[in-house]
Homo-oligomer: A and B are copies of this chain.
Amino acid sequence: MTTIYDVASRAGVSPATVSRVFNGTKVSPEKVEAVRRAAADLDFTPNRAARSLRTQTSEVIALVIPDIENPYFTEMARGVEDVASEAGYSVVLCNSDSQPDKESTYLQIAIAEHMSGVIIAAASDATNLDSILATGRPVVAVDRATRYDLDGVVMANREAGIAATESLIAAGYRRIAYIGGPEDIDTAADRAAGWRQALTDAGREADIAALQRFATFRVDGARAAMEELLALPEPPDAVVAGNNLIGVGAIQVLTERGLTPPAVGVAVVGSLPFTTLSPTAVSLVRLPARHMGVTAARMLLERIAGDAQPARTVVLRGETQRASANR
């Protein structure tokens, strides 16, 4: 392993000068050149562990998400990564798998590695950020609010729930069910509230009790819920899916039963990135996941740079794409 001392002696300068060259402080052109050549000759790579130890920071940010296999989160990760790497930061992607203990392990690692900041889509509203916040490191919440007073970027979930439901009403459906994520996650609760609101506005509040289901934000849970709904004495003629994977699960079950949309109406809060359906069969309230990641990363970088204004929350709206077909 070559160090700045090796480079320094080869270039005939002091270690401090080598450090300065690599950190942009003023050094005379000749020495800069000498150092660069020596570094290249020796294939020198600065030791980040030493640098982090000395400066108490590292150009790394942690992105903690609950499901690495959900395209919504990978799209968001993509946005974070683009902004971060542009600014010279690396992103460590931490998959909490919705498990509080995995999540807190990753948070401890972020502290121990002196990472510059954290962007987190919390596994639950009980997520404990005390330790990381105590270190003074900035934290930005994405997708889901936390019980802390933090910068955050969230979707307009209630409005998305309303828009999804209304698109189905406009298409002529009447008995509209809802399958959402766990009730204790605010995104899921808000979207469900939007559905109830839209049902009430349409004079269908009587359906709420029978047609509301809370599953996981995953394909399997949604499949079970959809099957349960179809087994009802009076099954729904349409369904609002609380996220992308729930949409996939619901549509899978419908397709297997020969009820491919628009035979039964489907509206999804989120996108279906790898769908093979006709684009007009399903209503979508597309959520700008990449933009959420970009926004969160920018906010975090501002905080890292020392910005100390009060916590801000940015709310992003989904874009409704109404199914043109109806039954």
A interface list, Cβ under 8 A from B: 1, 43, 45-50, 52-53, 56, 58, 68-69, 71, 74-75, 77-78, 81, 85, 90-95, 102, 105-106, 108-109, 111-114, 131, 134-135, 219, 244-245, 248, 251-252, 255-256, 272-279
Instruction: Enumerate chain B residues within 8 angstroms of A52, measured Cβ to Cβ.
Output: 49
Contact across chains for A71 and B71 when beta carbons are under 8 A apart: yes
Given contacts A52-B49, A75-B69, contact A276 B279 (CB under 8 A): no
Considering the complex, give the chain B residue whose CB is closest to the CB of A54. B49
Give chain B nearest CB distance to A75 CB in angstroms: 6
How distant is the Cα of A71 from the Cα of B109 in the complex, in angstroms? 26
Q: Which of B1, B56, B105, B113 has a CB less than 8 Å from the CB of A56? A: B1
Contact across chains for B277 and A276 when beta carbons are under 8 A apart: yes
Instruction: Enumerate chain B residues within 8 angstroms of A272, measured Cβ to Cβ.
Output: 274, 276
Contact across chains for B78 and A74 when beta carbons are under 8 A apart: no
Listed by A's residue number, 26 A-B pairs whose Cβ atoms lie within 8 Å are: A1-B56, A1-B135, A43-B134, A45-B108, A45-B111, A47-B53, A47-B112, A48-B113, A50-B53, A68-B74, A69-B75, A69-B273, A71-B274, A74-B74, A77-B95, A85-B105, A90-B94, A90-B106, A92-B92, A92-B93, A251-B276, A252-B275, A255-B276, A255-B277, A255-B278, A276-B276
How distant is the Cα of A108 from the Cα of B165 in the complex, in angstroms? 50
Instruction: Enumerate chain B residues within 8 angstroms of A279, measured Cβ to Cβ.
Output: 256
